[in-house]
Structure 1
Amino acid sequence: MTRAGAPRDHGGGLDAAAARWGGTRSDWLDLSTGINPVPYPLPDLPAGAWTALPDAAATARLEAAARRFWAVPESAGLVLAPGASALIVRLPDIAPPGPVRIPGPTYNEHAAAFRLAGRTLTEAPAPVTVLVHPNNPDGRLRSAADLGPGLTVVDESFCDTDPGRSLIAATARPGTLILKSFGKFWGLAGLRLGAAIAHPETLADLAERLGPWPVSGPALAIGAAALSDIPWAESTRARLAADAARLDRLMAGRGARPLGGTPLFRLYETGDAAAWQDRLARHRIWSRIFPWSRGWLRLGLPAPAGWPRLEDALA
């Protein structure tokens, strides 16, 4: 999250946590991110996925699966990338000139990318608007009425838990660019796979800026399999929703007030988030706090084996 002048902070950072509270990475239960703790099961990969340059047929299979899964309008284009972050840093290159509106607090890499490009951030309507939908960390949802007058970038990295709320239909016309992240919902953040979806006029030369073979052969094959596995996606949505409700009940029973979030992470008002983080860290459980809020604590979902450990730490 970021506001003007605030440092860039993220989840993760287990090495620093272990240096302060002890243990090794393998000792820790990392709840500081919003990554699905039960990842998509990796399919068998052909040897060529590792040894050959990614071919056009593998790219086409992934693009077709992505279009079906995300219901991409026929008139919209799709650009694959090695993670959503690789797209975020290139957005200033294709965005119209002028100030940029990024309602916050929200994911801080968007503001960082535009600042590095020399852009001014503003709270007023601007030629470029960036919305995170659902928002990170509070889960706020947007609608088509929130799209700005110029280019609107909509980061839907956490929207695959609730596809009915996607604003993907707006990409049928110029002016809206949707970002998708594969790592969150499918739990494979290390695979590095993302997509930008927009009318071809809006995408401009984004694909050229990424260069040839931006997505690895294994990522192409795994992504195509995962995006085609609709039963897995449906059962995963149900499990995540149930686990998010379970986490809310657990935290509310310990005195924290649920503020929202998504089925992949939950946000709580604790009064003293640093004290809560310290308490959990002494049990080798890592959480997320924010430099601009004294009370907000964000928790991802534990894997099934991690629930007793979290419950014991909060007892």
Structure 2
Amino acid sequence: MQPSHQHGGQLKKASEQYNIPLDNWIDLSTGINPNSYPLPAVPAAVWQRLPEVNDGLEAAAAVYYGSAQLLPVAGSQEAIQRLPLLRNTSRVGIITPAYHSHQKAWVDAGHTVTSIAAEDIESAIPNLDVLLLVNPTNPTAERYSIEQLQYWHAIISRNGGWLVVDEAFMDLTPEGSLIQSQAVEGLIVLRSIGKFFGLAGVRLGFVWTDPKVLKGLVGLQDDWSVSHPARWAGRLALSDFEWQRKERIRIPKAMAGLKARLQAIYQCEVSEAGLFAYVSMGEEMAAEEHERLCTNGVLTRIFKETGALRFGLSPTD
């Protein structure tokens, strides 16, 4: 059975629909770094042995994120699906447009979910138990300052509420992260190695939050939730500071070039979050342009509700 929701990267589906061989496509539909972290050959023992927690992954993550109060999860998607199970029925405000899986998870868990525009957060907070946003926002690339987020957290946490911030695209600008050495009650941050490191297929992410919530998530995890190959790959990638430094120089340059090209082609303002650009062009034009690009073997991500296309980087950018 096919999932009811869609992500970027549905290249095989597009290949079949437009009758264009997979190798002839340029996939710009995701925000995943096309210059993936260069993993070496996987040692045989990684395939043969069950994962163990004293393999150095947690230590590497503590250094990279600046805190030891982290839980490895099978992609941030695991945390997205499990966090709603840790609360009684709550009033949840989700800033939209944003990554759709957040809303689905809270709705499926029986919570009352309201979609909120960014400009309405201030007035909405008094009526919420949970405020959830993505920073920088996927797909619009909107950013929130640490000071603004801390202010909202102070308000919503007074009565046991949560501020949940998905920082899947924060690796390029780590100075904008809410993670600090000591966790704060009612503040939950999700991170992923899929985007910046280009390792979406290993399914590894982290949750940073207070010990009570971490304990609740551990209780919901399956045995060996994070595979041995994922732990091995994550430890290597998180520990390679030289590769990270080079990518934080290379990616913004590549995005600057893509942004300039998109502005020249579409004659409109382009927002970007380092690994993806967002072009709002109206519902009709977005649909026509998405179709035109697909017929030429270029896959983008269309957001029909906002009349926009999202463009990721290509290996040649």
**Do they superpose with TM above 0.5?**
yes
Give 2:294's match in structure 1, choosing from 266, 281, 285. 281
Report the alpha carbon displacement of residue 303 of structure 1 after superposing the two structures with TM.
0.5
What secondary structure, in the 3-state scheme, does the structure 1 residue paired with 2:171 have? helix
Code of the residue aligned with 1:301 in structure 2: it is: L
Residue 84 of structure 2 is aligned to residue 95 of structure 1: no
Q: Would you say the 8 A contact 2:280–2:306 is kept in 1?
A: no
Code of the residue aligned with 1:188 in structure 2: it is: L
Give 1:290's match in structure 2, choosing from 278, 299, 303. 303
Q: Would you say the 8 A contact 1:106–1:132 is kept in 2?
A: yes
CA distance in 2, matches of 1:261, 1:234: 20
Q: TM-score, normalized by length of structure 2?
A: 0.88
Show CA shifts across 1:50-81 (max 9, x none). Answer: 011112321xx111101110112x5xx21111
Report the alpha carbon displacement of residue 170 of structure 1 after superposing the two structures with TM.
8.4
CA distance in 2, matches of 1:34, 1:145: 29
Alignment of 1:2-151 (within 5 A): 8-58=5-55, 61-72=56-67, 77-122=69-114, 123=116, 124-125=124-125, 126-142=128-144, 143=146, 144-147=150-153, 148-149=156-157, 150-151=161-162
Residue 278 of structure 2 is aligned to residue 301 of structure 1: no
Show CA shifts across 1:199-218 (max 9, x none). Answer: 10232320121122111111
Report the alpha carbon displacement of residue 96 of structure 1 after superposing the two structures with TM.
4.8
Residue 233 of structure 2 is aligned to residue 212 of structure 1: no
Q: TM-score, normalized by length of structure 1?
A: 0.88
CA distance in 1, matches of 2:25, 2:251: 21
Show CA shifts across 1:79-134 (max 9, x none). Answer: 11111111111011123531111111111100000000111113432111111111
Report the alpha carbon displacement of residue 29 of structure 1 after superposing the two structures with TM.
1.1
Relative to structure 2, which stretch is displaced further, 238-247 or 255-264?
255-264
What secondary structure, in the 3-state scheme, does the structure 2 residue paired with 1:204 have? helix
Give 2:167's match in structure 1, choosing from 153, 156, 172. 156
What secondary structure, in the 3-state scheme, does the structure 1 residue paired with 2:269 have? strand
How many residue pairs get aligned? The number is 293
Q: Would you say the 8 A contact 1:97–1:127 is kept in 2?
A: no
Q: Would you say the 8 A contact 2:66–2:181 is kept in 1?
A: no
Alignment correspondent of 2:236? 225
CA distance in 2, matches of 1:26, 1:226: 27
CA distance in 2, matches of 1:269, 1:128: 29
Relative to structure 2, which stretch is displaced further, 175-184 or 139-148?
139-148
CA distance in 2, matches of 1:177, 1:275: 39
Which consecutive segments of 4 or more residues in structure 1 shift more than 3 A? Answer: none
Code of the residue aligned with 2:199 in structure 1: it is: L
Q: Gaps (5+ residues) in structure 1? A: 1-6, 308-315
Q: Gaps (5+ residues) in structure 2? A: 117-123
Residue 244 of structure 2 is aligned to residue 194 of structure 1: no
> Cα RMSD between the aligned structures?
1.7
Relative to structure 2, which stretch is displaced further, 154-163 or 95-104?
95-104
Code of the residue aligned with 2:37 in structure 1: it is: Y
